[in-house]
Structure 1
Amino acid sequence: MSSLFSKTISLRKELKISELEFTQLRDFIYDQAGIFIASNRKYLLENRLANRLKELNLKDFGEYYYYLQYDSGRKTELNKLFEVITTNETSFYRNPPQLKVFETKVLPAVLDELRKKRSKRLRIWSAGCSTGEEPYTLAMIISEVLGSELSSWNIKITANDLSERVLRSARRGEYTEYTLRTTPKEVVRKYFDNDGKIYKVKPSLKQMISFGQINLSDRVQVKRVERSEIVFCRNVIIYFDDPMKKKVINAFYDNLVPGGHLIIGHSESLHNITRAFKPVHHPGAIIYQKLE
């Protein structure tokens, strides 16, 4: 019994991250994804990566750092790393006051502006889409606002995330009752097919959305995204330090058409990041508009 106990203690010691290992991995993650992990969150890296070390049969975080740089499986492992360091907590109709402003103010104004230009081509970018709840919610709102006019519009929601695992889930479009807990019941009935305990997004919504992996710190990848009338990037920039925030917000600015709208998390702000956007105040939400 004492031998087993000592092995357990030994294993725990092996999985402790040193200051050097933490610095190496933190800097590597920042270089790869722009995600900054502060020194007081060392425990987070240690806890989340412990299972990766066990699975790869590596004895310490130094070996893992070496693996990420030189092993033949490093590309696959990089995706695994992205999965464990990003938090993917989301739900349908998240932050209703913000979505209400999108539904009643932003979207109708954008649609009217496009109609004036005799255009029926709408592009929205959902950056950091996680398991798909946000882009599907946007597709539902667009469907409700356009109603019978929907079929005459060319609509595309580009939905991106760093994690390929959450994108696979998003593409399936299958959710549980718990995931739909904040979704109005009439919306669930209208836009989902119920298969026992699983709710499947209707094909008409799926065809409006294009899912794909993107690293927001990669300028080349970001520039490939079609120019948008509206960009959603909610609860993502909180993971970045100030230089990375500026880089990402500048990329959104470049992507948006003149007068386009940027919607970030309700607890996030562009204060001290950029003055290129005009903050438009609504009850329950601030929408940032690209100056003409």
Structure 2
Amino acid sequence: MTQARMISDEDFRKFREFFYRKTGMLFEDSKRYFVDKRLLERMAATDSESFRAYFTMVRFQASGEELQTLINAMTVNETYFFREEYQFRCLVDSMLEEIVTHTRQQRALRIWSVPSSSGEEPYGIAIYLLEHWPRLDDWDIEIVSSDIDTEILNQARRGRYTHRSIQNLPPSLLAKYFRRDGDHYLIDQELREAVDFTRVNVSDAADMRRHRHFDIIFCRNLLIYFDDLSRKQTAESFYDALNPGGFVCLGHSESMSRISSLFRVRKFPEAIVYQKPWEAR
């Protein structure tokens, strides 16, 4: 490795601040090896002679293509089907039941999964609704799933998974909704068509304004990568994106109560979730 392609402490600080402004994600010093490795890989791939040259390109490239590629490289996508399944039970047994009880006119119910990662969560929601919500035939359901990583969105649209991704699925559901594709499992085409995948940066207000009128938001294990300010801003964006009475589901180690006072804490038998008050407009 040439000296020019080394990442100095100052380089790391500059990049960390820039990436935080763009994505809301803040890399701690403990992530230094991970960040340096990804930066050096992208510097080599773009034939950048130094960090300064690469950083200048990322900031000022008109197309923004390399910035998006770098974001894709820096985001971690690790998930599997039916992760934290108790929240899916809460979805069908409590949250949706309350929403339809308060909804006076028939309309589509909208669920947002963000980040989508490789699609296990939104497809898992669709499967759980098909299997466990008896009112499904009476209501239209729209599932939108979003991520900042464009490559992982393409992977999600393909719906092709390794054994690790499907390890928690009962064999009956695996046989019903998937088919073998070599060493992988391909999800049913109707399910692939049932989820609308979109790119979104939750730290970008303009991106978030394009996502509105949701009844339930699943945002699990994303906010742990943010600092307090970014968490608060994201919570406010989710509040604006929800219909009155809508719910947010966070990861088991996350708590909206420590982030924002906008939401009510709801302790259902299956899970603790966070609700936009019905009287909110």
2:42 paired residue among 41, 46, 52:
52
Conserved? CA contact 2:112–2:145, under 8 Å? yes
Q: What letter matches 2:65 in structure 1?
A: T
Rounded to whole Å, the distance in 1 between the matches of 2:277 and 2:61 is: 47
Report deviation, 1:182: 1.3
Rounded to whole Å, the distance in 1 between the matches of 2:220 and 2:92 is: 16
Q: What letter matches 1:33 in structure 2?
A: T
Report deviation, 1:41: 2.8
1:126 paired residue among 92, 107, 113:
113
Q: Any unmatched runs of 5+ in structure 2? A: none
Q: How does 1:120-269 map to 2 (within 5 A)?
A: 120-146=107-133, 150-269=136-255
Report deviation, 1:118: 3.3
Rounded to whole Å, the distance in 2 between the matches of 1:253 and 1:281 is: 19
2:24 is aligned to: 34
Conserved? CA contact 2:80–2:164, under 8 Å? no
Q: Any unmatched runs of 5+ in structure 1? A: 1-10
Conserved? CA contact 1:261–1:288, under 8 Å? yes
Rounded to whole Å, the distance in 2 between the matches of 1:195 and 1:69 is: 41
With over 3 angstroms needed to count, the CA separation of the structure-2 counterparts of 1:223 and 1:70, relative to structure 1, is closer
SS in 2 for 1:178: helix
Cα deviation code 1:221-263 (max 9, x no counterpart):
1111131110111111111111111110000011111111100
Cα deviation code 1:138-177 (max 9, x no counterpart):
1111212345x54553221111000000000001111122
Does residue 19 of structure 1 match 2:19? no
Q: Output the aligned Cα RMSD.
A: 1.9
With over 3 angstroms needed to count, the CA separation of the structure-2 counterparts of 1:44 and 1:238, relative to structure 1, is same
Q: What letter matches 1:113 in structure 2?
A: H
Conserved? CA contact 1:266–1:286, under 8 Å? no
SS in 2 for 1:279: strand
Conserved? CA contact 1:83–1:165, under 8 Å? yes
Rounded to whole Å, the distance in 2 between the matches of 1:13 and 1:94 is: 44
Q: Which has the larger radius of gyration?
A: 1
With over 3 angstroms needed to count, the CA separation of the structure-2 counterparts of 1:94 and 1:150, relative to structure 1, is same
1:109 paired residue among 79, 88, 98:
98
SS in 1 for 2:163: coil
Q: What letter matches 1:82 in structure 2?
A: I
User: What percent identity do the matched residue pairs reach?
Assistant: 33
Q: What letter matches 1:133 in structure 2?
A: E
Report deviation, 1:285: 3.0
Report deviation, 1:12: 6.4
Q: What letter matches 2:99 in structure 1?
A: V
SS in 1 for 2:153: helix
Report deviation, 1:204: 2.4
Aligned pair count reads: 278
TM-score scaled to structure 1, two decimals?
0.88
Rounded to whole Å, the distance in 2 between the matches of 1:174 and 1:275 is: 40
Conserved? CA contact 2:212–2:241, under 8 Å? yes
Conserved? CA contact 2:94–2:268, under 8 Å? no
1:5 is aligned to: none
Conserved? CA contact 2:203–2:230, under 8 Å? yes
Rounded to whole Å, the distance in 2 between the matches of 1:280 and 1:65 is: 45
Rounded to whole Å, the distance in 2 between the matches of 1:49 and 1:283 is: 45
TM-score scaled to structure 2, two decimals?
0.91
